[in-house]
Structure 1
Amino acid sequence: MEPFIVSARKYRPQTFKDVVGQQAITNTLENAIANNHLAQALLFCGPRGVGKTTCARILAKKINQDGTEREDEDFAFNIFELDAASNNSVDDIRNLIEQVRIPPQVGKYKVYIIDEVHMLSQSAFNAFLKTLEEPPKHAIFILATTEKHKIIPTILSRCQIFDFKRITVKDAVEYLKFIAEEQGIQADDDALHIIAQKADGAMRDALSIFDRVVSFSGKELTRKAVAENLNVLDYETYFETTDLILENKIPELLVLFNKALTLGFDGHHFIVGLASHFRDLLVAQHPQTIALMEVSEDAKAKYSSQAQKTSNEFLIKALDLANDCDLNYKISKNQRLLVELTLMKLASLTFETEKKKLDKIIPASHFRIQDYVAAPKNYSVTEVATPQQEATVVNSTNTGNAASEKVTEPKPSKTVLEKPVIENRAKRVSGLSISSLKTKKEHQARVSPIVSKDDLPKEKFTEAEMQKYWNVYVDKLDQQGKKIMASNLHADVPRLKQETVIWIELPNDTMKKEIEREQGPLLEFLRSNLQNYTIELKISVNEATAKKFAFTPEEKYEKLREKNPALDLLRKEFDLDF
């Protein structure tokens, strides 16, 4: 099977009968050719992609066929096309006028097709006016434009105007069905309707979209595949959205809108499509107006089913809200919030409240789940015996003369509401008070008792042992990713002075400050491993030692050359820079 990318060119109309959706115009042109009543200046105007230039080419080919020539002769030498968008100057029109004077060598007429004629300049229009007013008998001008109002009235008054209309979705679907049958493709009606709606009345765009979708999906065109490839919201999304609106489910509605946004759809596109869906539901409520819907039969049945659940009052209010959102979308600072508020208002239209307002929103408490346990019906708060009464009862039992005392039955307790008794709690201590600091110190003393310095170990150690654990700590920092700190500690070899004082010399104050800031963990590591808690660290700065560090490219090269003199030979051999 041949590539589908060329199907648009293959199915380009060759005769007036092949032109889709413009039968009235093509019939008029055929009758004018047959009766020799064709005007010498024609103006084809209409939207893009409806067949203006195609009809001009078919007409140019048809008027030179008088029955004696071959039908496959296209008279290409008699057809001249000029793109006014790129040839809009006076000189271009003058060249055209010079060509008009020469009669045709074959056939009766020379046809001049000027596309996008509204792009001509004012001076070019004036230069073309005289020729268009009194053209030679052998010349026919066909002007094509998408913006008729930009053409000067003196040109319009001298042309026979043909207004091309947009191709209906039904005609586009029928022609796409014909192409699908010719190519052996199984296409759903809903899929072809999406393509026709996306083309917006242009058959050329419909063919191009059809090529792209077939290249993506293969021989089977489904509604889901077409919607995914064209990046359009399926009408099933709007059916689900309307159901959630009618059921007043605001949370689920917002989640559905967020899902549409995550798929890459614009909020404006969503709300405009929803407004069109409400319009289709309003149309589907009456059997006579349902024919106005440009959808498939299955979709019409779905619209009719959902239209029975809605009322005219709801749909009119919903259309009003959606239209306001559409108008205010571009000027809104928070466009997503605008759409979400509109959806919440739509879901609140059918919510029963005391006062119904158009902008009323269901309160959030309506969707809140309240989990509580109801109190039992026989629940009551009774009087509680005081401590004095309890003591009296205890004393009466200890006497042992139970028979001599009168025992009265307890009266039924009355239901009373007692005031809650607030117990005297311990005084709370502020975290910033002096007493809190004292309490904290006492707690730390209990958890980790303070050990006297005299009781700490003071084992003697050598300089070699100190340097060994120093390097172990530096390697530990390097493994933890603290490269800068490890490099600073490696800047000098530590020396031992006065038995417990470790001394290092650094080239600048920055390295000194970095080590002093982090010397706590270092001293703790050395003291614990060397078993001497009197170790101290002394750091001095000697700027003269900074010279041994190479910073510039020249200094780096000199240091490398000192280590390997052959490097200088390599540089000279290949004429390299350092």
Structure 2
Amino acid sequence: MDEIGFPQEGVSAPKDMAQQDGAYRVLARKYRPQTFEDLVGQEPMVQTLENAFDTGRIAQAWMLTGVRGVGKTTTARILARGLNYEVPGVSDKPTVRLEQEGSHCKAIMEGRHVDVIEMDAASHTGISDIREITDAARYRPATARYKVYIIDEVHMLSNAAFNGLLKTLEEPPEHVKFIFATTEIRKVPVTVLSRCQRFDLRRIEQPKLVGLLRRISDAERIEITDEALTLIARAGEGSARDSLSLLDQAMAHGAGAIQADDVRGMLGLADRARVIDLFEYVMSGNIAGAMDELAAQYTVGADPAVVLTDLADFTHLVTRLKIVPKAGDDVSVTETERVRGHEFAEKLSMRLLSRTWQILLKGVHEVQSAPKPLAAADMVLVRLAYAADLPDPGEALALLRSGGAVPAGGGAPVSQGGGSGGGQQGGGPRAAQSHAQNPALSAPVAAVAGGRPRLEAITGGAAQAAPQPMTYAAPQETPEPTAPAFTLANLRDCAALASEKRDIPMKVAIMRQMRLVKFEPGRIEVQPTEDAPADIVGEFGRKLTEWTGTRWIVSVSRNQGRPTIHEEEEANQEQMLSDARSHPTVAALLGKFPGAKVVDVRVQESEDEDAELADPLLNEALGDDDPDEI
């Protein structure tokens, strides 16, 4: 397949690619690179090859891998040209410095040299095709220095073909070189990879891709704005071929000077400023405004899935700005994104951004597979707007403990929207105290009354609707909060406390992995079982101190401890089963039903232990009409 070339400087259509018959030649082929200097974004690979050629350490095979359109096949041809570079009286050895056209260069780059054989593995997958290569490899090249085999999409070869190639690939004749290209490196057997030098061709960075598109558009005398080029480069996702194909399409679509709006309409993109406005609507909980904005973007041609993808990209940008403020200095970030992104980063919590990212990531796939994408995107925005107001489990528990109840609509009863200068909402002193104790609640929130949200703008100030009273649980007479008092007398009490704190792993560890040696107030000595984690004792002490508010020291003892709680319970249960089996009534019942067995014993709380034996059905089963004679 054709790969894209990336000229760096002085871009112009190569003379040998002139349109002799008047047919149009797409940009991806017209500006295909001819030398290593023309490759964009692959400097590490070029440096490695240059050092190898200068020192004479030339490998027998290379594996070029990367995503579509980064120049794998083009690089293979340039590498074959460098291996066979020859200029009479100037150069007669392999080199990466291809300043002038050599004797074999034109034929190699056009794919018609007799000693540079290109094979598409997608259409030549069998062992017979590889057998032709191995048989021909024994003969020396006709005119060039090396006989070079370029196998594109090598992962498409069959297992038999790979196996047939191994021996020749491991010990090829001195005059034979192999160059493989693939987009699916994981499908290539390790036995083949171990015999090759591997080069991972990277995606082209967006600034370099924009520069490449600018040079080509100038060479083509096309008027196009920098913003339009940025949109094309962003849509190309690091692939020069995709980007040049989109530039070709934009040239046909614009029919003259190409503006950013032309590219947006062609690609179904939304204006970045409008995407940020949509993000603000969602983060402030303004569902109606968010749905109207999405509908307006859809009317002018924006794809709902693309809009959600742009929302996810902006969420990622805000998250990066919150962690690394210098991320806004990237040239690919517009001034609007930089300024407003910093504002959002200061006001939104990391928990909210993470939750937004997860919902959008799932929502994009839902919209792409939905029969009505716009309706699916609306529902994703509704989910986002309500999620912006939802406290996480820890916050909800803190609110409930502080006396406030989470409203029925899902909003958290907090005091303000999070930004500096944010206006106060209703909620009383308990909600304000909860907000002060939980900085994570500084995200924009909505108080819900009657199932409809009352929203406060993310930037602070007055709410968009008239304030309404918050909904709380019925007030209760509670004493002043005091430090909780826990009385722990043994490990069973500790296990009960862990259960109350909903720490099930620690409860299981206490019951099954600790043998008690000594128990005193504030100090416990245990002997861990063999399967206990190494840090379980220290973790037990830390959690006891945290739960009780009193310092507890838990240490490991070398003395033999008592059986674990679980072992004691099992022994007690086994004893109860044994006693039950030996009971005369149970023994008589087991005798009446061959194969029956006692599997469990439950202690009845009734004062009359023999009341159950008076059941007529039991008497009938035992074959006796008088229960007193049993």
Query: Which bin holds the TM-score, normalised by the shorter protein?
Result: 0.5 to 0.7
Residue of structure 1 in register with 2:259 after alignment: 222
Counterpart residue number, 1:185: 222
Task: Give the letter for the 2:101 counterpart.
Answer: E
Counterpart CA distance in 2 for 1:299 and 1:13 is: 34
Select which of 301, 306, 314 maps to 1:277: 314
Shift of 1:52: 1.0
Task: Tell me what 1:340 maps to.
Answer: 378
3-state SS of 2:266 partner: helix
- Cα distance in 1 between the residues matched to 2:372 and 2:210: 39
Choose the corresponding residue for 1:71, options 97, 101, 110.
101
Shift of the 46–357 alpha-carbon distance from structure 1 to 2, 3 Å rule, reads farther
Equivalents in 1 of 2:124, 2:246: separation in Å?
Answer: 30
Distance 1:365 1:130, change over 3 A: closer
2:25 & 2:382 partners in 1: Cα distance? 45
> Is residue 48–residue 146 contact of structure 1 (8 Å, CA) maintained in 2?
yes
Distance across 1 between alignment mates of 2:127 and 2:316: 50
Q: What is residue 208 of structure 2 aligned with on the other side?
A: 171
Matched, 1:322 2:360: yes
* Equivalent position of 2:338 in the other structure: 300
How much has 1:8 moved relative to structure 2? 2.4
Deviation digits for residues 476-519 of structure 1 (CA, Å, limit 9, x no counterpart): xxxxxxxxxxxxxxxxxxxxxxxxxxxxxxxxxxxxxxxxxxxx
Q: CA deviation at 1:89?
A: 0.8
Q: Is the 8 A contact 2:265 2:301 kept in 1?
A: no
Change over 3 Å in CA distance of 1:43–1:350 after alignment to 2: closer
Q: How far did residue 266 of structure 1 move?
A: 4.7
Contact (CA 8 Å) 1:189, 1:296: kept in 2 or not? Answer: no
Compared CA separation, residues 296 and 35, structure 1 to 2 (3 A): farther
Alpha-carbon distance in 2 for matches of 1:10, 1:125: 35
Decide which of 59, 72, 75 is 1:39's aligned counterpart. Answer: 59
Q: Is 1:355 aligned with 2:385? A: no
Please name the residue that 1:249 is paired with: 286
The total of aligned residue pairs comes to 370
Measure, in 2, the Cα distance between the counterparts of 1:101 and 1:199. Answer: 43
Give me the whole-angstrom Cα distance separating, in 1, the residues matched to 2:306 and 2:160.
42
Kindly state the Cα deviation for residue 343 of structure 1 after the two structures are TM-superposed. 1.8
CA drift of 1:182 comes to 2.2
Cα separation, 2, equivalents of 1:264 and 1:218: 19
Within 1, Cα distance between the matches of 2:276 and 2:51? 48
> Which of residues 154, 168, 171 in structure 2 aligns to 1:131?
168
User: Which has the higher mean CA deviation after the structures are superposed, 224-233 or 131-140?
Assistant: 224-233
1:82 to 99, 102, 119: 119
* Residue 54 of structure 2 corresponds to residue 54 of structure 1: no
Preserved contact between residue 4 and residue 214 of structure 1 (Cα < 8 Å): no
Compared with structure 1, are the counterparts of its residues 351 and 6 closer, same or farther at alpha carbon in structure 2 (3 Å cutoff)? Answer: closer
Distance 1:325 1:154, change over 3 A: same
- Deviation sequence 1:156-206 (CA, Å, 0-9, x none): 111111111111112111111221222233332221121111111111111
**Larger mean Cα displacement after TM superposition, 302-311 or 225-234:** 302-311
Q: 1:5 to 1:240 in 2, by over 3 A?
A: farther
The yes-or-no answer on 1:155 pairing with 2:185 is: no
Deviates more, 1:334-343 or 1:203-212: 334-343
Residues 1:25 and 2:45 are matched in the alignment: yes
Gaps of 5+ in 2: 1-12, 14-18, 92-99, 108-112, 391-403, 412-445, 456-463, 467-630
What whole-Å deviation, never above 9, does each CA across 1:26-45 have from its counterpart, x for those lacking one? 12112222322111111111
What's 1:288 paired with?
Answer: 326
Q: Structure 1 residues 219 and 326 mapped into 2: Cα distance closer, same or farther (>3 Å)?
A: closer
- Amino acid of the structure 2 residue aligned with 1:64: N
CA 1:359 to 1:351, structure 2 compared with 1: closer, same or farther past 3 Å? closer
Question: Judging changes above 3 Å, is the alpha-carbon distance between structure 1 residues 96 and 297 closer, same or farther for their aligned structure 2 residues?
Answer: farther
SS in 2 for 1:187: coil
Corresponding residue number in structure 2 for 1:196: 233
How has the CA–CA distance of structure 1 residues 324 and 215 changed in structure 2, closer, same or farther, with 3 Å as cutoff?
closer
User: Match for 1:71: what amino acid?
Assistant: E
Taking structure 1 as the reference length, the TM-score comes to 0.57
User: Quick one: distance in 1 between partners of 2:331 and 2:300?
Assistant: 27
- Within 1, Cα distance between the matches of 2:291 and 2:127? 59
SS across alignment from 2:174: coil
- Please say if residues 193 and 295 of structure 1, whose CA atoms lie closer than 8 Å, have aligned partners that are also in contact: no
The answer to whether the 8 A contact 2:409-2:453 is kept is no
- The question of 1:95 aligning with 2:122 is answered no
Write the letter of the residue equivalent to 2:70. V
SS at match of 2:151: strand
Shift of 1:268: 3.6
State the Cα deviation string for residues 268-305 of structure 1 (Å, max 9, x = none): 43323212211112223443232468434564345345
Structure label with greater radius of gyration: 1
Query: Displacement of 1:88 after TM fit?
Result: 0.5
Asked whether the 8 Å contact 1:170–1:294 carries over to 2, the reply is yes
| Amino acid of the structure 1 residue aligned with 2:183 | T
2:30 aligned residue: 10
Cα RMSD of the aligned pairs, angstroms, is 3.4
Between the aligned partners of 1:254 and 1:215, the Cα distance in structure 2 is 33
Structure 1 residue 330, shift from structure 2 partner = 7.0
**Deviation of 1:7 (Å):** 2.6
- After TM superposition, list the pairs within 5 Å mapping 1:408-423 onto structure 2: none
Q: SS where residue 77 of structure 1 aligns? A: coil
Amino acid of the residue matched to residue 259 of structure 2?
A: T
State the secondary structure of the residue aligned to 2:198: strand
**What whole-Å deviation, never above 9, does each CA across 1:335-372 have from its counterpart, x for those lacking one?**
755543442343356669973799547544859999xx
**Which piece of structure 1 moves more, 292-301 or 240-249?**
292-301
Deviates more, 1:24-33 or 1:122-131: 24-33
Contact 1:190 / 1:296 at 8 angstroms: preserved in 2? no
Contact 2:207–2:331 (CA under 8 A) maintained in structure 1? no
Cα gap change, 1:176 to 1:305, in 2 (>3 Å): farther
- Whether the 8 Å CA contact 2:389–2:410 is kept in 1: the answer is no
Q: Is the CA contact (8 Å cut-off) linking 1:46 and 1:52 kept in structure 2? A: yes
- The 1:283/1:293 distance shift into structure 2, 3 A limit, reads farther
Q: Which amino acid is 1:277 matched to? A: F
